[in-house]
């Protein structure tokens, strides 16, 4: 098989994995379903391995198929970036650029979001598509230029840089303490309504890393009856005076200054979160490089 056909058939294979159906790939590429099937069969024959396990309704990737897909889309993304860089070669850096950015909801809003409008005012040729979401992000398939994540991504081939580490605490209103009492220990906390967290993979955090006043670190079994996958409503819930919420001082600094919220069990440290900047490519447009510096400065200013 010629290299051109091998490349074309691998492209068809990758589109099948992304779209999920032979008919969907056929519609996207403007070819018949039988052509899609023939291309996949020729690809498997040429490589000498099975890429898919087929059944009457669906298919799943073999280990070889997963390896081919992961490798090809990474190289495809680099190739696309190279095309962009070559088109821009020798041109001024004031060409319009759009950055696709994935951000976690919650704490990040107080660190970056308030500063973005000012940055865009100073960079009129830059447009930003910001996606606030608490989930695993596929940088290549979803065509993101940058992402800020609260975990190390599964694809270790991505370029990863640690940005910041947050120390979480607990907060409530003074009215909550009058109504329900103030917890002084983890045992006391068990009888209070404390907001819990649902992780990006939709699993519930049942254990929390806690540093005790004496410096000892333990895993505390949390038994929250109210769990969220989004921190944004926490402030409104906390200010209702009916629950204890988690966060960082930066997030609730105004409410703490006004006395609307107080810190609960201040000698305890509840959970530590790290933020990572993730990107896929080796060479970036100068606008994106400049935006990365802006993100880093937002965290350094803390």
SS3 194: strand
Kindly state the tokens that stand for 284: 């970036």
Residue ranges of domains in the chain, CATH in brackets: 3-86 (1.10.10.10), 93-160+275-300 (3.40.190.10), 169-270 (3.40.190.290)
The DSSP call for residue 205 is -
pTM: 0.57
Please give the distance of CA 166 from its chain centroid, rounded to a whole number: 16
Residue 275 has pLDDT above 90, yes or no: no
Read off the pLDDT of residues 236-260 as tens digits, 9 standing for 90 and up. 899 999 999 988 887 888 899 999 9
In the predicted model, what is the mean pLDDT of residues 154-163? 72
DSSP codes, 23-50: HHHHHHHTS-HHHHHHHHHHHHHHHTS-
Q: What is the mean pLDDT of the chain?
A: 83
Measured distance CA(270)–CA(263) in Å, rounded: 12
Kindly state the tokens that stand for 65: 């198929």
Residue 12 has pLDDT above 50, yes or no: yes
Q: How far apart are the first and last CA of the chain?
A: 57
Residue 2 has pLDDT above 60, yes or no: no
Measured distance CA(151)–CA(147) in Å, rounded: 11
Read off the pLDDT of residues 164-212 as tens digits, 9 standing for 90 and up. 888 889 999 999 999 999 999 999 998 999 988 766 656 666 778 888 9
In the predicted model, what is the mean pLDDT of residues 92-100? 74
Q: Would residue 9 be called left, alpha or beta, if left means φ above 0 and alpha means ψ between -120 and 50 degrees? A: alpha
Q: Is the dihedral of CA 40, 42, 43, 48 positive or negative?
A: positive
DSSP codes, 86-141: HHHTTS-TTS-EEEEEEE-SSTHHHHTGGGHHHHHHH-TTEEEEEEE--S---TTT
Measured distance CA(175)–CA(57) in Å, rounded: 58
In the predicted model, what is the mean pLDDT of residues 40-51? 92
């Amino acid at each position: 098989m010629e290299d051109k056909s091998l490349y074309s058939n691998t492209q068809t294979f990758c589109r099948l994995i992304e779209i999920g159906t032979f008919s969907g790939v056929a519609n996207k590429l403007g070819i018949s379903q039988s052509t899609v099937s023939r291309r996949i069969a020729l690809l498997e024959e040429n490589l000498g391995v099975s890429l898919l396990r087929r059944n009457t309704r669906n298919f799943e990737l073999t280990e070889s198929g997963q390896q081919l897909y992961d490798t090809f889309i990474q190289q495809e993304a680099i190739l696309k970036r190279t095309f962009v860089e070559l088109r821009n070669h020798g041109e001024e850096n004031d060409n319009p650029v759009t950055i696709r950015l994935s951000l976690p909801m919650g704490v990040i809003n107080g660190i970056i979001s308030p500063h973005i409008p000012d940055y865009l005012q100073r960079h009129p040729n830059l447009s930003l598509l910001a996606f606030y979401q608490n989930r695993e992000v596929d940088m290549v398939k979803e065509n993101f230029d940058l992402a800020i994540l609260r975990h190390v991504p599964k694809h270790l081939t991505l370029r990863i840089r640690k940005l910041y580490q947050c120390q979480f605490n607990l907060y409530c209103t003074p009215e909550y303490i009058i109504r329900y009492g103030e917890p002084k220990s983890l045992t006391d906390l068990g009888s209070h309504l404390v907001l819990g967290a649902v992780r990006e993979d939709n699993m519930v955090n049942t254990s929390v890393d806690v540093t005790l006043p004496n410096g000892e670190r333990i895993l505390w079994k949390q038994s929250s009856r109210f769990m969220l996958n989004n921190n944004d409503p926490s402030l409104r819930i906390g200010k209702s005076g009916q629950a204890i919420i988690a966060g960082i001082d930066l997030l609730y600094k105004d409410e703490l200054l006004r006395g609307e919220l107080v810190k609960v069990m201040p000698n305890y440290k509840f959970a530590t979160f790290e933020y990572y900047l993730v990107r896929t490519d080796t060479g970036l447009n100068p606008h994106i490089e400049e935006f990365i510096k802006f993100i880093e400065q937002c965290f350094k200013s803390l």
